[in-house]
Each structure stands twice: as C-alpha cells, then as structure tokens.
Chains A and B, each alone.
Chain A
C-alpha cells in the first residue's frame, strides 16, 4: 500500500487478555517505530526496529510488552495480561532509513481494556 497500515483500527479486550497489534510499513522502509498515545498527550516512543532487529526498546513500559519484525517488514506489537492502563492509541511509523529522516505514521490502533 501507499501508506503505513495498522490493524485492527479498534480493539476492545478484557483485562488480563493477550492482544496483538499489526503494522505494515511503507514498502522499502527499513526503520519502523511503535508509539503509544494517551488521550490529550503526545505520542510516546516504545520501540524502534532497524530491519529485523529491535535497535532500541527502551520505551517499552514493562515486560508485558513485546514486539517483533521477523522479516524486516510487518511488525507485531504484543501485550500480555492487559491492564486498563494499557488503553491508548498505538501508533506505528516507518521511515526510509534510521536517524533523522521523517517518519510516516499509520492511523493507529485504539486499544480499550475493559
């Protein structure tokens, strides 16, 4: 596709359940980023991939959060034992290369934990 695609657009899950959020970056973009945006706040960095490897996962809040990018394209953000505080919009972005190039964002996945 022409842009960054995220699925699902909305996800409602019960507290304690496991969820997976998918990101399909722009073709050819080697860098992929996950952010989390809470209501009324700016996006907060979670993790960054360069190719298949997680180059920086310092933004992941705890070990319930994990992300993979096995073939260097599509990425999945996985959240175990979800908590109500995990409710937010999860944004994915990709850029042609790492570093200072502009990142293009998807429309996000709105996660609601009830």
Chain B
C-alpha cells in the first residue's frame, strides 16, 4: 500500500523567511510520480510540480524548490523569501499508476506579515 506522511501539521513563519515542508512516502512500485499541490482558502487544489521516480535532480522554479531523495523516500519543498500569499495548505501526493493520487494530510503554512 502507498502512504504519504507530512509530519508538520502547521508551520508559521514571518514574511521573507525561508521555509521547508517535509514529505516522506512509502511505495512498493518501482515507477511512480510525486506531486505537490497548494490549496488556498478558496479550496481549489493548485498543481505545483510533478517528479518521476527516475529523476532525482532538484528543481527550482522562482522562489520554489524541491529536493527529491530516493534513498530517504523524501520529497521536500522549500519556499525562499516567503510571502503572505504563500499562506495555504500544501499537500504532497504519490501516484503509482493510472489510479488516483495518495495524498498526505497536508501542512498548513501561515506566513505572517
């Protein structure tokens, strides 16, 4: 069975601080994809990134960066110079094939001005 663990239930930082959201996953599949989604107060899940299990290169997109380490089954997400608009619930998710995604419980990120 697949499992995604986001141990941080809530994180609160002051604007402009860097913040890292942790994600640890479990799967027996050799091929899988990892995702991060953002859920602002409006409720709609917004896709941020997809990473396949064969690509361990870190990725940077503006203030966002992702660190995928297969050896520790982790796919962590860092926001640099956080902004109030980054406040949301962030979900890490795992896909092992055509079936639906397995989501973690989410991390509620609060950026204080």
Contacts and interface: CB of A to CB of B under 8 A. Distances in A.
B95 interface: yes
B105 A106 contact: no
B98 A45 contact: no
Interface string B99-113: 111111110000000
Interface residues of A, number: 30
A100 B50 contact: yes
B64 interface: no
Contacts, number: 65
Contacts of A59: 100
Interface in A30-63: 31, 33, 35, 40-46, 48, 50, 55-56, 58-59
Nearest to B103: A42
A48 B100 contact: yes
Given A45-B99, A45-B102, A99-B97, A107 B44 contact: yes
Closest 3 CB pairs of A and B: A42-B103, A45-B100, A105-B45
